[in-house]
Amino acid sequence: AQKVTQAQTEISVVEKEDVTLDCVYETRDTTYYLFWYKQPPSGELVFLIRRNSFDEQNEISGRYSWNFQKSTSSFNFTITASQVVDSAVYFCALSEFTGNQFYFGTGTSLTVIP
C-alpha cells in the first residue's frame, strides 16, 4: 500500500487563482515527519517545509500555507494567488521515527496559466 498518496496527478489553474494540493499519508508510528518539496522544470527538488506529528498548527509562509490534520491523515498545501513561477511538480513525503527512509508521493504537476 502507498504510504503517501497524492491523488491529483495534474492540476491547471489560471494565474492568481488559489490552489490546494492534497496529500494523504499512512503510518502506524506516533512520531513521524511530513515534508513538501517542489521540483521545477529545471529538475532540482527544493525543500519547502517539515512538520512533526506532534505539531498540528497550520503554517503560513507568504503565499504558501499548509494544513496538517492528523484526524484525516492529511497534510495539504495551498498556494494563494498562484503565479507562473509556481508551475512545478510538488511532492509530499513521509518519514517515520521507526523507519529508515523517506516515502515520497507520486507528485502533483501544477501548471499555472498566465
Residues lying near another protein in the complex (CB under 8 A) are found at 31-33, 35, 37, 42-47, 50, 52, 91, 95-107
Grid cell locating 49: 517545509
106 and 10 in contact (C-beta within 8 Å)?
Answer: no
Smallest separation (angstroms) from another protein to the CB of 32: 7
Grid cell locating 58: 497550520
25 and 69 in contact (C-beta within 8 Å)?
Answer: no
Smallest separation (angstroms) from another protein to the CB of 17: 25
Smallest separation (angstroms) from another protein to the CB of 82: 23
Smallest separation (angstroms) from another protein to the CB of 107: 5
Nearer to another protein, 43 or 114 (CB): 43
Q: Which has the closest alpha carbon to 73: 106, 27, 25, 33?
A: 25
How many Å apart are CA 19 and CA 89, to the nearest integer?
13
